[in-house]
Amino acid sequence: DIQMTQSPSTLSASVGDRVTITCRASQSISSWLAWYQQKPGKAPNLLIYKASSLEIGVPSRFSGSGSGTEFSLTISSLQPDDFATYYCQQYNSYPWTFGQGTKVEIK
């Protein structure tokens, strides 16, 4: 199985901050990576696919980058609605695997 490791596990930030979350794969996954946002009690919501493609309807302050084993999700200016937990997921090979999540908290 491909292991996905996110850092940090928790991130404290203020509205307006630029924040970056990192996801590392245990082996190369090319660009087959997605990012999801999850709020408490809700299903995850797709933000980014193929490492850097923005899902329709997702605000442009979200962006993704990387390839191979190192990836990042950046929120250019954190908004109140962005406080949530974020997960990366590789779909290069089965079994699909998720990172452990990064919780973005209010500072």
Binding site for other proteins (CB under 8 A): 1, 32, 34, 36, 42-46, 49-50, 55, 87, 89, 91-92, 94-101
Least spacing, CB of residue 83 vs other proteins, in Å: 17
Q: What is the DSSP letter of 76?
A: S
Distance of closest approach, residue 104 Cβ to other proteins, in angstroms: 15
User: 26 near 18, Cβ under 8 Å?
Assistant: no
Please identify, using beta-carbon distances, which residue of 65 and 92 lies nearer to other proteins: 92
Contacts 24+ apart (CB under 8 A), 48-54: 48/73
Instruction: Give min distance, CB of 43 to other proteins, in A.
Output: 4
78 vs 88, beta carbon nearer other proteins: 88
- The residues, any chain, with a CB within 8 Å of residue 67's CB and separated by 6 or more, are 30, 31, 51
Report the nearest approach of other proteins to the CB of residue 35 (Å): 9
Task: Determine the Cα angle at 89 with ends 55 and 13, to 5°.
Answer: 75
